[in-house]
Amino acid sequence: MSVQPGIDVLLHERKSELRNLRVGAVVHPASVRADLEHTAQALAREPCFRLAALFGPQHGARGEKQDNMIESDSYRDPESGIPVYSLYGDTRRPTEEMLDGLDALLFDLQDVGTRVYTFIHTMAYCLEACARYRRKLIVLDRPNPIGGAAVEGNLLHPDFRSFVGLYPIPMRHGMTVGEMARYLNVEYKIGCDLTVVPMTGWKRSMWFDRTGLPWAMPSPNMPTLDTATVYPGMVLIEGTRLSEGRGTTRPFELVGAPFIDGRRLAAHLNDLALPGARFRPVAFEPTFQKHARTLCGGVQLHVTDRSAFEPYLAGVLVITAVRALYPEEFDWLAPPYEYEYEKLPIEILCGSRQVIQGMESGATPESFRALWQEEAARFRTLRTPYLLYD
C-alpha cells in the first residue's frame, strides 16, 4: 500500500473539520498530492471551505529563488487572485495583517529531516503566530525522506540560535513535520491550537523511495533523494569557502575548490573507512555561486549503504580533511548568512563550538561521535511522546 500524505487524508476523510472556514496554506512546489496535483489547486476547488491566502517559505511558493538570502515578494496568484505572502525576507513569520480574515492556517511543506533546512523553522514561526493571534494551525504531515529511525548530531546550543536553528534539536532529527510541530508546541510551551493530520501507511524505517510517492523538489538544490541523504552533513560546506556543488547537477554530493587535488582528498577520506560511504575524485565548474565558472578539484560522496551511513559525521570529516591537507588555503565563510550578521555561518550551522574545534584540531571519527552521542540519545527519549508512527 502506498503512503497517503496528510493533504490526501484531509481531503478524503477529514475536510468536514474545515467546513465554512477561511483558510490560508503554506506551500511550495513539493506540496503535491499522491497524483501530483498541487495542494493549492486541490484546496481552491473545495466547496466545503474557502482558500483565501497562500504563504511561501524560503525559495518562494513557486520555488523559483535559487540561492540562500534571495527574497521573494508577496503577490497575487494569477489564477485565483488570492494573495500570496512571502515568509522569507524581512518578515519570516505570518503577521497579524497576513492572518486577517483567516480562521486557520494549513502547513503543507515537504521537509528533508535536517535541522538547518529552514522549513521546520517557518513552521515554528507559524506555531508562534497562530498562538499569538488565536488561529488554528493544521499541519498536513509528509514523510521524512531519510527515514524516522536514525538520529545524529549534537543539539543546537542557544548561543547559536538563528533561522537555521531555533530550538535545540540534532542535525538529523528523524521526525516528520507533524511530529516536530507536536514536539515544539508542547516542549517549548508555544500553546498553539494545533492539529496534525497524519499520513497513512508510513513507517519510521521508510525512506522516500519506499513510499510510492513521487519525488518533487522541495527546493531548487534538493533535486533527488540522494541529495537529501547526504545533506545533513554536506550542508556544513556552506559554512566554508569550498563549493558545496551549487551550480552543478549534484549539489551537496560534490565538494571542491580550485586548490584541491581530488585524488589526494579522496584517498585521505577513503582511508577513514566511513561506514556506507566512498569518495571519488572529480573535477567540476560551478555555473553560479562559489567558484563560478572556475575549475575545481574535489570529491563526490557516494553512499553505498544508507542504513550504515552517518551523514553528519561525513560532513564534518570532509571539512576536517580539507583543513588538514590545505591549511593555508582553507577558510571559513564570513557572514552574513541566513539573516545572521555577526556569527560565522559554520557556527549557526553546527550549533556547537566543540564540533568546530574538533574540525580545526583534526579530531578522529570516534572523537566526533563521542561529542554528540549522549545528546542524540537524550533527544531520542525526549521526542518519544510526540511520535505518530511505528
Q: Is the pLDDT of residue 183 over 80?
A: yes
For residues 196 and 331, state if they share a domain. Answer: no
Specify if 76 maps to a domain: yes
Q: Band of the pLDDT at 69, cuts 50, 70, 90?
A: very low
Instruction: State which amino acid sits at residue 109.
Output: L
Tell me if 38 is assigned to some domain.
Answer: yes
In a domain, 101, yes or no: yes
For the ranges 11-25, 47-61, 333-347, 369-383, the lowest mean pLDDT is seen at 47-61
pLDDT, mean of residues 162-173:
97
Q: What is the percent of the chain with per-residue pLDDT over 90, rounded to a whole number? A: 93
User: Which of 243, 344, 352, 224 has the alpha carbon at shortest distance from 299?
Assistant: 243
The rounded mean pLDDT for the chain is 96
Q: Specify the CATH number for the domain of residue 139.
A: 3.40.50.12170
φ and ψ of 193, to 5 deg: -75, 90
Q: Cell digits for 137?
A: 494551525
166 with 49, same domain: the answer is yes
Band (pLDDT 50/70/90 cuts) for residue 105 is: very high
Q: Is residue 164 part of a domain?
A: yes
Does 169 reside within a domain? Answer: yes
Give the CATH number for residue 280.
3.90.1150.140
Short-list 117, 284, 252, CA closest to 244 = 252
Is 359 domain-assigned? no
Q: Which helix (H) or strand (E) holds 193?
A: strand 193-197
Q: What pLDDT is stored for residue 73 in this prediction? A: 72
- Amino acid letter, residue 380: R
Say if residue 240 is in the same domain as residue 124.
no
d(CA 128, CA 133): 9
Mean pLDDT (whole number) for 319-334: 98
pLDDT at residue 5 above 50? yes
201 vs 72: which has the higher pLDDT: 201
Is residue 106 in a domain? yes
Q: DSSP code of 18? A: G
> Quick check: 78 pLDDT over 70?
yes
Whether the per-residue pLDDT at 71 is higher than 70: the answer is: no
**pLDDT, mean of residues 350-378:** 97
Residue type for position 161: R
* pLDDT of 67 over the 80 cut: no
Judge if 34 and 145 occupy the same domain: yes
Phi, psi torsion values for 83, nearest 5 degrees: -70, 145
Residue 256 lies in a domain: yes
Q: Answer yes or no: do 15 and 156 share one domain.
A: yes
Region 235-255: mean pLDDT is: 98
Instruction: Look up residue 182 and give its DSSP letter.
Output: H
Higher pLDDT, 243 or 64: 243
Same domain, 27 and 51: yes
In this prediction, residue 75 carries a pLDDT of: 82
**pLDDT surpasses 90 at 32:** yes
State yes or no: cis peptide before 336, omega within 30 of 0. yes
Same domain, 242 and 280: yes
| Per-residue burial over 25-48, b = 16 or more CB atoms within 10 Å of its CB, e = otherwise | bbbbbbbbbeeeebbbebbbeeee
Are 185 and 239 part of one and the same domain? no
Verify that 29 and 139 share a domain, yes or no.
yes
- Phi and psi torsions of 332, nearest 5°: -75, 150
Do 59 and 143 fall within a single domain? Answer: yes
Residue 49 CA to its chain's centroid (Å): 30
In total, how many domains does the chain have?
Answer: 2
- Is residue 229 within 8 Å of 146, Cβ to Cβ? yes
158 and 300, same domain (yes or no)? no
Domain extent, residue 189, equals 6-216+381-386
| Of 125, 47, 133, 40, residue with least CA distance to 89 | 125
What are the beta bridge partners of residue 298? 256, 282
Residue 289 and residue 166 in one domain: no
